[in-house]
Amino acid sequence: MDTFSETFSETSLAFAPQSEEGRLLQQINENQFAAVELQLYLDTHPEDLGAIAMYNQCHADLIRCLRDYESRCGPLLSYGLSASPCHGWGWLDGPWPWETNFS
């Protein structure tokens, strides 16, 4: 075991969100992080068809998770990429990213 692993292996936090909103957001984060990783990999390995298939699967899952989240928790994206609830401008509802504790 290297020094880094010895020092830090016990400190990793496994978030297990309790709220519905936290759970939906975690699904988005998981799919989007996988997509970010695959995108960076594909930028330097554009010929890897298997990775492209994985990327497309992430895309499909991410879009489904986004719509799930938004239908229950409100808009996540700006500039016309998310709809607002008709009864009020949903963009201003709830905590901002620096105000949440992912509970």
By CB under 8 A, name the binding residues for other proteins: 32, 77-79, 91-93, 96-98
- Alpha carbon separation from 100 to 3, 19, 96 (Å, rounded): 33, 12, 7
**36 versus 60: smaller Cβ distance to other proteins:** 36
Number of CB atoms found within 10 A of residue 76's CB: 17
Distance between CA atoms of residues 29 and 20, nearest Å: 14
**Closest approach of other proteins to the CB of residue 100, in Å:** 13
**Closest approach of other proteins to the CB of residue 9, in Å:** 27
**Closest approach of other proteins to the CB of residue 72, in Å:** 19
**20 versus 93: smaller Cβ distance to other proteins:** 93
Q: Cβ neighbours of residue 66 under 8 Å, at least 6 residues apart?
A: 28, 76, 77
**7 versus 92: smaller Cβ distance to other proteins:** 92
